[in-house]
Chain A
Amino acid sequence: MMSDYRVQGETGEWEVVIGLEVHAQVTSNAKLFSGAATAFGAEPNTQVSLVDAAMPGMLPVPNRECIRQAVRTGMAIDAQINKWSRFDRKNYFYADLPQGYQISQLYHPLVGEGSLMIEADEKAGIPEAKRIGIERIHVEQDAGKLMHDQHPTMSYVDLNRSGVALMEIVSRPDMRSPAEAGAYVRKLRSILRYVGSCDGNMEEGSMRADVNVSVRKPGKEFGTRTETKNVNSVRFVMAVIEGEAKRQVALIESGGTVVQETRLYDPDRNETRSMRSKEDAHDYRYFPDPDLLPLELDDAFLAECRESLPELPDAKRARYLAAGISAYNADVLTAEVESALWFDALLETGAKPVAAANWVTSELFGALNRLGKSFADCPVTPAQAGELLGLVADGTISGTIAKQVFEKMLESGDGAAAIVEREGLKQTSDTGAIEAEIAKVLAANADKVEQYKAGKEALFGFFVGQTMKAMQGRANPQVVNELLKKALG
């Protein structure tokens, strides 16, 4: 089923066609072609080598890890890996581009055709799962940074980012709504983080997207697209698409034509504007970088890349579904690599998948939210959680008591069994003690007993609750049920 997202114009409905070019910073210690560090937030121009500053006579030598990470990413989207690729120079002049060219890959990219799956999300308007094509991934250098507000007549150039490795991940124009584009970016980010090839940190600029948008009457030829550069959050990507589609429809319907151009998004005004000033002389004169030979990958290199790939979100999700975990919980657990890995470790302690998934998505997520923590600094280990869930599973404590125990675990850092022991929270199946309490409850509620016996069976739950309360939650609920049924005859 196709997306039914439409822009309503005066002449009828318009369909939106979206393609994304995502620039993802490759996780590496050193830059793509030099030994300077890539860490975020350093003093200006300290992480700059003679190579990055394009001093005369400097030469690039590619970083193996950057190539490896791009290949692993390609494998994670089932893409064709090109054993023979080349670096090309993209020539243009700008103050943040010291060489006067960016080393990129136009003619022979490292990674060819692949795809990823976005899941159905009825609420967001994605009726069913959809495969989004990815045309290519190539490796290229990032540019430096310009600062405009430090001096009345000058801009300042910081080259710390100059030469940092980027993957440019180019999608097919397969998306038809802001929601699909948002889901695509989230899924891509999730895959990159599973693979470990990009930290996905959009605030720090580790991931940003160029958003290509065009509109057409449903089923007709593609319209002319615009490209909005450097959009740095999922929310903004969706906002750009929504705004740009409306702008294009209004433009066309008022008799204008969309021009192929580069636009810039202003989040404060939530609108895009043309960068036409820069369009005048774009002729990048791409040609193979004569400082670099063709990049040839051997089978051993590719095998290592493949073997080092972790279980990816789709496979993990399928495994969770097969274990009986709900689709919702499976989505939540697999969305971020940290929660998925934590959950897998919990399963390894022998925890029952469904109960464990419910506990993690409700109790643990709740606690982390409340404490402002994440799985990276999770206050309980999977082993500790496994111990707690084990106590519930073997009937030592009830679910209700488990909540109390978990709170005490968070407070004290002690183990679940130790807390249960110390606080005497062990659930009892001592029929004598339970029968004594049941007798008291029934005696104190003679009227309700009458009503129950007269057929108001819903009151059974009331008696269970009262008994459990009297037992301070420590009674085995199953035993309570049985004894109550017997007592109420």
Chain B
Amino acid sequence: MMTDLTNLTVAQIRDGHRAGDFSAVEVAEAFNANVAGAKALNAFIVETPDHAIAAAKAADADRAAGTLKPLSGVPIGMKDLFCTNGVQTTAASHMLEGFVPRYESTVSQKLWDAGAGMLGKLNLDQFAMGSSNETSYFGNVISPWRRKDGGNAALAPGGSSGGSSSAIAARLCPAATGTDTGGSIRQPAAFTGISGIKPTYGRCSRWGIVAFASSLDQAGPMARDVRDCAIMLENMAGFDPKDATSLNLPVPNWEAALSSDLKGKTVGIPKEYRLDGIDPDIDAMWDAGIAMLKDAGANVVEISLPHTKYALPAYYIIAPAEASSNLARYDGVRYGLRDLPQGAGLQDMYAATRADGFGPEVKRRIMIGTYVLSAGFYDAYYTQAQKVRTLIARDFEQAFASCDVILAPTAPSAAFGLGEKMADPLAMYLNDVFAVPASLAGLPAMSVPAALNREGLPLGLQIIGKAFDEQGVLNAGLAIEERAGFTARAEKWW
């Protein structure tokens, strides 16, 4: 038996279990122990060790019976934005504290059907709104990483999938689900030295995922490496007739087609992503990434995405507008929190419930969204933003006429300290400057760890692909992964 099963990747667990090197129950127990021992990270809202063990027992039985499934023996973490049958689902909000769905999201159901087990529900920014996991009603998630400056400042694991990123980086789970509306998979992956992919909009069903901004929300996997992302995504994606925006396409065998040979491929470098005054470590990493892809055989060209600077403002109109409407259902009538002051009428109950049930960032976005949709402002804000969104999508379309994938940094900085950006919402929003354009265009994009900065913190490179071309994204990611040789991990302090 291996010394520490929790150091294994998804592929290694799958293959080792299949080969009989260890039992699935041993794997589940090892991860359950890590989860139980990592309260200081606050990565989980609910721990479900029994679920993991039950799935592991089934996996061991399946192995004996010769009926192994693609993820048999693999325990994973589930972002608490996915509704899980019989297990509390909160979206990290007070509003949904205690809410126990009687249904299972399509994506989580697919994972269980593939043999995976659940270690628990992962913490996140409240209703997936945030870039640092500081908006959760259940407390901040702490990154396992620390700066090598001798200080012990708690760092943000990124957001909104901060529980997922922290848990994977700390070996609490080999992989986890994330959701990405404007960078919520990629930015936390970059902050914690792991990989994560947001597939093409429509690849993963949104059914059963607590909605933030419907036209942007996409589920995707987060894991330690590119292969694991491919394996996970194969078992999350697929057509779902319950989601009208679901893509009716077969799910490719991404893992089998992984190849880091980029001969004949062209990589585009968007000049507008070179920001004045950006951290030189970021630019250095980007240049290193370009060299790696050249080394893998790719041709590199400069491209232009002229409307890049307008992506973030457009996003901060569209996403809050959709959110203000999507979150109207949290009214205290049918489920979740009800705050009924003495003698209050229906409308007072709504106002009290929503004041109490939503955190400040959620309220801020609902307010912005309500304002930009309100009478007299709709065209100036919302229609204008959707037109700009068309231009942003067109930028990518034109760029992809001359390249196959685009390489850029995932985020403009390494992980920042908790509390550093909370006072200024705009500064926080700007952290998603590189992630948001691909979200607005619905394109597949992933982050892979590429380097450590001068403080010893991980930095991520982002690969953006053409619609439906997750394979191209994964392959370019693999080429970087192989060359970056990123093996650093956070030293255990928790």
Q: Which residues of chain A are near B48, meaning CB under 8 Å? A: none
Which B residue sits closest to A89, measured CB to CB? B325
Q: Which A residues contact B (CB, under 8 angstroms)?
A: 50, 53-62, 89, 91, 93-95, 98-101, 155, 157, 283, 285-287, 290-293
Once the chains bind, are B244 and A291 in contact (CB under 8 Å)? Answer: yes
Contacts of A157 in B (CB 8 A): 333
Residues of B within 8 A of A287 (CB): 321, 325, 373, 378, 382
**A291 — which chain B residues lie within 8 A by C-beta?**
211, 214, 244-245
User: B346 at interface (Cβ–Cβ under 8 A)?
Assistant: yes
Inter-chain CA distance A263–B365, complex, in Å, is 35
Q: Which of B82, B103, B244, B374 contacts A292 (CB 8 A)?
A: B244
Residues of chain B at interface, number, CB under 8 A? 44
Given contacts A91-B373, A287-B382, contact A56 B241 (CB under 8 A): no
> What residues on B are CB-neighbors of A62 within 8 Å?
244
Q: Is B474 an interface residue (CB 8 A)?
A: no
A235 and B213 CA atoms in complex are apart in Å by 46
Q: Which residue of A lies closest to B374 (CB)?
A: A283
A55-B103 contact given A93-B350, A98-B329, A283-B374, CB 8 Å threshold: yes
Question: From residue B1, how far is it (CB to closest CB) to chain A in Å?
Answer: 40
Chain B residues contacting A292 (CB-CB under 8 Å) are: 244-245
* Min CB–CB distance A296 → chain B (angstroms): 13
Residues of B within 8 A of A93 (CB): 328, 331, 347, 350
Smallest CB–CB gap between B372 and chain A, Å? 9
Per-residue A-contact encoding for B260-295, CB less than 8 Å = 1, 0 else: 000000000000000000000000000000000000
Distance between Cα atoms of A291 and B213 in the complex (Å)? 9
List residues of chain B with CB within 8 A of the CB of A89: 325
Closest to B343 in A: A153
Q: In whole Å, how far is A363's beta carbon from the nearest beta carbon of chain B?
A: 54
Complex contact B96–A56 (CB within 8 A): yes
Give the shortest distance, in Å, between B106 (CB) and chain A (any CB). Answer: 9
Given contacts A56-B83, A285-B374, contact A61 B346 (CB under 8 A): no
A91 with B328: CB separation less than 8 A: yes
Q: In the bound complex, what is the Cα–Cα distance between A309 and B208 (angstroms)?
A: 39
Q: Is the CB of A56 within 8 A of B89?
A: yes
**Whole-angstrom distance between the Cβ of A385 and the nearest chain B Cβ:** 49
Main secondary structure of the interface of A (DSSP, over half): loop
Select one of B209, B215, B328, B333 contacting A57, CB under 8 A: B209
B322 near A59: Cβ-Cβ < 8 Å: no
B99 within 8 A of A: yes
In the assembly, what is the distance between CA of A91 and CA of B329, in Å? 11
Q: Are B244 and A57 in contact (CB under 8 A)?
A: no
Q: How far is the CB of A126 from chain B (nearest CB, A)?
A: 39
User: Who on chain B is nearest to A281 by CB?
Assistant: B347
- Are B325 and A57 in contact, CB atoms less than 8 angstroms apart? no
Residues of chain A within 8 A of B245, CB atoms compared: 291-293
| Contact, CB under 8 Å: A99 / B329 | yes
Q: List 13 A-B contacts (CB under 8 A).
A: A53-B334, A56-B210, A57-B210, A60-B244, A61-B241, A61-B242, A93-B347, A100-B327, A283-B374, A285-B375, A287-B382, A291-B214, A293-B244
Is the pair A100, B99 in contact by a Cβ cutoff of 8 Å?
no
Q: Is B397 an interface residue (CB 8 A)?
A: no
What residues of chain A lie closer than 8 Å to B328, measured between beta carbons? Answer: 91, 93, 99-101
Residue of A56, A62, A89, A157 with highest tally of chain B CB at under 10 A: A56
Complex CA distance for A285 and B379, rounded to whole angstroms: 11
A286 to B378, CA, bound (A): 9
Which A residue's beta carbon lies closest to that of B240? A59
For B206, what are the chain A residues with a Cβ–Cβ distance below 8 Å?
57, 59
Least Cβ distance of B344 to chain A in Å?
A: 11
A290 & B333 in contact (Cβ 8 Å cutoff): no
Given contacts A283-B375, A285-B374, contact A56 B322 (CB under 8 A): no
Which residue among A57, A290, A291, A293 has the maximum number of chain B CB atoms within 10 Å of its CB?
A57
Q: Scan residues 93-139 of chain B and give those whose CB is less than 8 A from a CB of chain A.
A: 96, 99, 101-103, 105
State in angstroms the CA–CA spacing of A290 and B103 once bound together: 23
Q: Say how far A224's CB is from chain B's closest CB, in angstroms.
A: 19
CA gap between A201 and B105 in the complex, in Å: 39
What residues of chain B lie closer than 8 Å to A101, measured between beta carbons?
325, 328
Question: How far, in angstroms, from A487 to B331 measured CA to CA in the complex?
Answer: 94
Closest to A45 in B: B334
Do B325 and A91 touch across chains, with their CB atoms under 8 A apart?
Answer: yes
B197 at the interface (CB under 8 A from A): no
Candidate in A62, A94, A155 with the most chain B CB atoms within 10 angstroms = A94
The interface centre, meaning the residue of A155, A283, A291 with most chain B CB atoms within 10 A of its CB, is: A291
- Nearest-neighbor residue (CB-CB) of B335 within chain A: A55
Closest residue of A by beta carbon distance from B332: A95
Decide yes or no whether B207 CB sits under 8 A from chain A: yes
Using known A-B contacts A91-B325, A100-B328, A287-B321, determine if residue A57 contacts B211 with beta carbons closer than 8 Å: yes
Q: Which 10 A-B pairs have the closest CB atoms?
A: A100-B328, A285-B373, A290-B214, A290-B215, A57-B208, A54-B329, A56-B210, A61-B244, A283-B375, A291-B214
CB <8 Å contact, B241 and A54: no
**Is the C-beta of B446 less than 8 angstroms from some C-beta in chain A?**
no
Contact A100 B329 (CB under 8 A): yes
Interface residues of B in 73-92 (CB under 8 A from A): 82-83, 89, 91
B453 at the interface (CB under 8 A from A): no
B322 A290 Cβ-Cβ under 8 A: yes
Contact flag A290-B91 (CB < 8 Å), given A59-B244, A93-B347, A99-B329: no
Tell me the minimal C-beta distance from A154 to chain B in angstroms. 10
Give the complex CA separation of A293 and B245 in angstroms: 7
Query: Is B302 positioned at the interface, with any CB of A under 8 Å from its CB?
Result: no
- Measured between C-beta atoms, what is the minimum distance from B374 to chain A in Å? 5
Q: Please judge, given known A-B contacts A93-B347, A285-B370, A287-B373, whether A57 and B331 are in contact too, CB under 8 Å.
A: no
Across the two chains, which residue of chain A brings its CB closest to B383? Answer: A287
Closest-CB distance, B361 to chain A (whole angstroms): 18
Give Cα A93–Cα B334 distance, bound, in whole angstroms: 13
Residues on the A chain within 8 Å of B244, using CB? 59-62, 291-293
Considering the complex, give the chain B residue whose CB is closest to the CB of A34: B242
The answer to whether B356 has its CB under 8 Å from any CB of chain A is no
Check B420 for interface membership: any CB of A closer than 8 A.
Answer: no
- Neighbouring B residues of A100 by C-beta, 8 Å: 325, 327-329, 331
B21 within 8 A of partner (CB): no
* Residue B243 CB within 8 A of the other chain: yes
Report chain B residues within 8 Å CB of A290: 213-215, 322
Tell me the complex Cα distance, A431–B322, Å.
91
CB pair B209–A54 under 8 Å, yes or no, is no
Known: A55-B334, A100-B325, A287-B325. 10 other contacts (CB 8 A): A55-B83, A55-B103, A57-B211, A98-B333, A100-B329, A283-B375, A285-B374, A286-B373, A290-B215, A292-B244
Task: Kindly state the separation between the CA atoms of A59 and B208 in the bound complex, as whole angstroms.
Answer: 8
Residues in A whose Cβ lies below 8 Å from that of B209: 57
Q: CA separation between A292 and B325, bound complex, in Å?
A: 14
Contacting residues, chain A, for B329 (C-beta < 8 A): 54, 56, 98-100
